[in-house]
Structure 1
Amino acid sequence: MSVVRSPLNDNDLRTTGDALQGALVDVLDLSLVAKQAHWNLVGPRFRSIHLQLDEVVELARAAADRLAERAAALGVNPDGRADTIAKTSGVPAFEAGWVKDTDVVNSFIEAFQRIITRMRERVDATEKSDPVTQDMIIEVTQELEKQSWMFQAENVGA
């Protein structure tokens, strides 16, 4: 049952809804992995990376809210449940226990590469189905690419 009438036709709504749901799951998982890393980070660059991970969490949570609200506004039920995230996220698994600062940086470089690739696919998918959603996904992708650059810069000289 849909309680919200979408301005999109069924085909465009399906494409757009899939893109929003996939983006939602990826950024929610990114926020969880970033908090896990934040709590278990060790090493000489602890403080700077610890604070950087907080920025990632803040960015991801804000993006998740925007994406979920866009989906709801179009009449698509956003699904941010833990089991949905676990089954469909593109974020690589993060190891348990204490993790060295260099390993955290490398993990996040890989995570950003995967998520950004998936986000860019969503940008392409929504070009015709819903340019408004496409703009939102482009915005989130831009923020993710900035964080990716910052983590890659951490590796210089490491």
Structure 2
Amino acid sequence: MATKSSSIQTFTVPGLSAQESTTVVSALQDRLFAYTDLHLVLKHVHWNVVGPNFIGVHEMLDPQVDVVRGYADAVAERIATMGGTPVGTPGALVDARSWDDYDIGKDTAQAHLGALDLVYSGVIEDNRSAIDVVGEVDPVTEDLLIGQTGELEQFHWFIRAHLENAGGHLATEGATTEQEAADAARGSRRTTRKATKAARKKS
């Protein structure tokens, strides 16, 4: 969902038209909302992860929080550089976002990692769409988003490495919601299927 600035843009960087700048600023504002949401979700998981793998996941996430928070700052400053007004208020984020709130509370490392697999997938897919949009008019912003997306893909790999088996399959394969992914990663879905099969045999 594109978000319009609350103020009129009176200037932009040299070489871009007002219309081109508006297109880029709109795409960047969406990324600003996504990054703000992502670093808060990562911190939420950092606080609420439990279980045998607690410390490894707890400590893995804080550097990701810091980097993503830095992305939000870089994107906001790019918006301002182009004459736009970056919007960073919580109410605006909630009104503009196209995704649901992260709803996993205190849970095991595997459950949170399963949910984060889908979170990262969504952010990266939207980043790639934004790269396509801005790349048509502004290679400087395109370069900014390409660099950020590459590092996000590496963070996503860190998450997925915990969910992958020796055959290269993810525990979250086929999950379409964060709750489904969390259940699959902790093994709940597998347990439920076994219980269902056992019940069928008894009947």
Question: What is the percent sequence identity of the aligned residues?
Answer: 32
The 1:41–1:153 alpha-carbon spacing in structure 2 relative to 1, beyond 3 Å, is: same
The 1:89–1:96 alpha-carbon spacing in structure 2 relative to 1, beyond 3 Å, is: same
Q: Tell me the TM-score normalised to structure 1 length.
A: 0.92
**Alignment of 1:6 onto 2:17:** no
The 2-side partners of 1:100 and 1:152 are apart by: 15
> What's the offset of the Cα at 1:15?
1.1
Q: Which letter maps to 1:65?
A: D
The 2-side partners of 1:20 and 1:53 are apart by: 24
The 2-side partners of 1:117 and 1:57 are apart by: 19
Q: Give the aligned length.
A: 158
> What's the offset of the Cα at 1:20?
0.7
The 1-side partners of 2:83 and 2:67 are apart by: 25
Deviations 1:5-62 (A, max 9, x none): 4332122111101111011110110011111111111111101111111122111101
Q: Tell me the TM-score normalised to structure 2 length.
A: 0.73
Task: Choose which of 111, 115, 123 in structure 1 pairs with 2:131.
Answer: 123
The 1:73–1:67 alpha-carbon spacing in structure 2 relative to 1, beyond 3 Å, is: same
> What's the offset of the Cα at 1:87?
2.4
1:142-153 alignment runs, 5 A limit: 142-153=150-161
The 1-side partners of 2:11 and 2:54 are apart by: 46
The 1:58–1:139 alpha-carbon spacing in structure 2 relative to 1, beyond 3 Å, is: same
Between Structure 1 and Structure 2, which shows a larger proportion of helix residues? Answer: 1
The 1:90–1:111 alpha-carbon spacing in structure 2 relative to 1, beyond 3 Å, is: farther
The 2-side partners of 1:11 and 1:107 are apart by: 38
Contact 2:12 2:21 in 1 (8 A): no
The 1-side partners of 2:13 and 2:158 are apart by: 38
Q: Which letter maps to 1:117?
A: E
Look up the SS of the partner of 1:58 in the other structure. helix
**Alignment of 1:136 onto 2:144:** yes
The 1-side partners of 2:36 and 2:64 are apart by: 11
Corresponding residue number in structure 1 for 2:197: none
Q: Gaps (5+ residues) in structure 1?
A: none
> What's the offset of the Cα at 1:104?
0.7
Q: Which letter maps to 1:83?
A: G
Contact 2:104 2:112 in 1 (8 A): no
Contact 2:12 2:18 in 1 (8 A): no
